[in-house]
Amino acid sequence: MIYTRIVSTGSYLPQKVLSNHDLSAMMDTSDEWIQSRTGIKQRHIVADNESSTDMCEQAAIEALAASPYEAQDIDLIIIGTSTPEYVFPSNASQLQARLPFRPIPALDVSAACSGFIFALATANAYIQSGMAQRALVIGVDVLSRHVDWQDRNTAVLFGDGAGAVIVEASETPGIYGFSLHSDGTHGPLLLIDKGAGAANENLAQRSPYVQMQGREVFKVAVKSLSGLVGELLEQCQMQAQDIDFLVPHQANLRIIAATAEHLNLPMEKVIVTVDRHANTSAASVPLALDDGIRCGKIQRGHKVLLEAFGAGFTWGGCILSY
């Protein structure tokens, strides 16, 4: 059987840091209010001259540098994002032109905060089918450009960044299995409804900003992720105690803690970056994974559970041996 293993990781965070205290000077909020509800202390914000493709490039360079491979050795690029630089071409196609890749398949995947998980699952399918040997998978988003900076309910939640992994075919795990879900009936609870394909007749009523019914999203997220964890353990024929680290989507510390509790994992076994990064959407999981590896917590041979939940609703995860 062909498995998919992680070779290396990389990340990029914009230089500008916006703290909760900075936000309190911009709107009716406070550090205590934000931290008590989300666990967030700060977030990184792209510069005016930075794009989501720029961030992909920097994360890719770092992942390649941490691997034994060159760009020419990669034969697939998949990027999870909801904030591409252009309507078309894709960020993946632009990245393919920026670095010395061969003319390989390059595509974007849109699944909001679950985008990296869905992109990784797609790369895994390519590799297991024999259509690719080695892939670069990136999660990136620039949601700071899609928040109303006067709305404290959403503006405090998001940051920008990019995370990358290089994966390759392996005779041993690797990734043991995925579980992916979507439920479009919840779509109105979390959305940006002004898109390039919106109907002209009501375009003026649509908003380019994140709109979220936070309490309802929280309820569905906790329920969905708790169920997801059980599905993954059963599918991979594992017990909760087999998991060495949880790398969750970094949206809210309370959701992270609820998922860890369902696994009976102490928080020391959970990679938490939400306090420093906030919610970076599709970049959240690969940024946290890279952080856990580079700080020395996640070691080779550790079993790691990745999970994410996002607009759509979409949610998914996998268990892998790093």
Catalytic residue among 44, 56, 113, 236: 113
Residues of 219-239 as b/e, b for ≥16 C-beta within 10 angstroms?
ebbbebbeebbeebbeebebe
* Cis amide leading into 10 (omega within 30): no
Which amino acid is located at 212 in the chain? M
DSSP string for 52-114: HHHHHHHHHHHHHHTSS--GGG---EEEE-SS-SSSSS-HHHHHHHHTT--S--EEEE--GGG
Residues of 292-317 as b/e, b for ≥16 C-beta within 10 angstroms?
bbeeeebeeebbbbbbbbbbbbbbbb
Catalytic residue among 236, 249, 252, 277: 249
Residue 64 main-chain phi, psi, to 5 deg: -65, -40
Residue 113 annotated as catalytic:
yes
Residue 44 annotated as catalytic:
no
| Cross-strand bridge partners of residue 6 | 167
Residues of 52-84 as b/e, b for ≥16 C-beta within 10 angstroms?
bbbbbbbbbbbbbebbebebebbbbbbbbbbbb
Closest CA to 309 of 153, 158, 181, 187: 181
Identify whether the C-beta of residue 148 lies closer than 8 Å to the C-beta of residue 209: yes
CB atoms within 10 A of CB 31: 16
Burial of 148 (0-12, 13-18, 19+ CB in 10 A): middle
Assigned token pair, 233: 């353990």
Residue 303, SS3 per DSSP: strand
Cα(222)–Cα(12) distance, integer angstroms: 28
Residue 236 annotated as catalytic:
no
Catalytic residue among 124, 236, 279, 318: 279
Active site residues: 113, 249, 279
